[in-house]
Amino acid sequence: MTYATQKDVSSRARRAGFLYLGIILCGITAEGILRGSLIDRSDAAATAQAIAAHIGLFRLSILLDAAMVAFDVALAMTFYRMLRGLAPRLILTATALRLIQAAMISGGLFTLFAAARAATSGGDPLPALNAHAMGYDLGLIFFGVNTLIMAHLLDRAGAPRPLAAGLAAAGLVYLTGSLTRIVAPEVNAIMQPAYLVPLIAETALMLWLILGARPRRAARG
């Protein structure tokens, strides 16, 4: 087996950082800005009216979600190539989990098309939107485990300990949030502020990767 030079590894780390930036920007814009401004889960009629009146923005949010999934798949493969020399089985497991989440998110985009169709035809878009949200949270179960594994791997690769700890905390938030949404929705409602932890941790990881990550040498892919 041959090994990547430090320059190769740093280049991959920087690529991973820019892919992470794409994921964060697409995700926040699609869900938090575009769809978030149109959806009122307590008022089906108002939601339908808002989506129908801004159908172009709603469809743009779907396109951004698709771009986010594409970035996520590319990031999964980049991390695999970066870290497989440290722990081949662990990084393979993490990659598979991240790809499962990406597949679930991309499959859930069909529910957004269903919501758009319902809104523009006088129907109720909330059932489709709620199905999309549930599918997203189910995907985050797999991503939560992925994040815990990646926290361990990045710690072994020389990432700052606070960064690895933050990622581990993010993984726990994803797992707790998704599981409570399924089995205890009333608990899930009060833990929404905890999602700031993943946002901060993953933004910190993105900045570390772009600005100066020096992971330890990994096997060449």
Q: Where are the domains of the chain?
A: 6-211
How far, in Å, CA of 42 to CA of 213, rounded? Answer: 44
Q: Which residues contact 210 (CB under 8 A, 6 or more apart)?
A: 14, 17, 18, 21
Taking the alpha carbons at both ends of the chain, their separation in whole angstroms is: 10
Per-residue pLDDT of 62-83, as tens digits, reads: 999 999 999 999 999 999 999 9
Segment holding 122, helix H or strand E = none
How far, in Å, CA of 30 to CA of 24, rounded? Answer: 10
The sign of the CA dihedral 110, 18, 203, 77 is positive
Q: Where are the alpha helices (DSSP H) in 28-160?
A: 44-53, 55-83, 88-120, 126-156
pLDDT at 11: 86
Q: Are 135 and 102 in contact (CB under 8 A)?
A: no
Taking Cα atoms as reference points, which of 157, 165, 94 lies closest to residue 173? Answer: 165
How far, in Å, CA of 66 to CA of 88, rounded? Answer: 29
Task: Please say if the pLDDT value at position 97 is more than 90.
Answer: yes
pLDDT at 17: 95
Task: Please say if the pLDDT value at position 214 is more than 80.
Answer: no
Per-residue pLDDT of 110-165, as tens digits, reads: 999 999 999 999 999 999 999 999 999 999 999 999 999 999 999 998 899 999 99
Query: What radius of gyration, in Å, describes the C-alpha atoms of the chain?
Result: 19
Q: How many CB atoms lie within 10 A of CB 49?
A: 14
How far, in Å, CA of 92 to CA of 89, rounded? Answer: 5
Per-residue pLDDT of 157-204, as tens digits, reads: 889 999 999 999 999 999 999 999 989 888 888 888 999 999 999 999
> What is the 8-class DSSP label of residue 123?
S
pLDDT band, very low/low/confident/very high, at 215 (cuts 50, 70, 90): low
Q: Are 170 and 201 in contact (CB under 8 A)?
A: yes
> What is the 8-class DSSP label of residue 158?
T
pLDDT band, very low/low/confident/very high, at 221 (cuts 50, 70, 90): very low
Q: Which residues contact 177 (CB under 8 A, 6 or more apart)?
A: 137, 140, 188, 191, 194, 195
Segment holding 204, helix H or strand E = helix 196-211
pLDDT at 212: 77
pLDDT at 31: 93
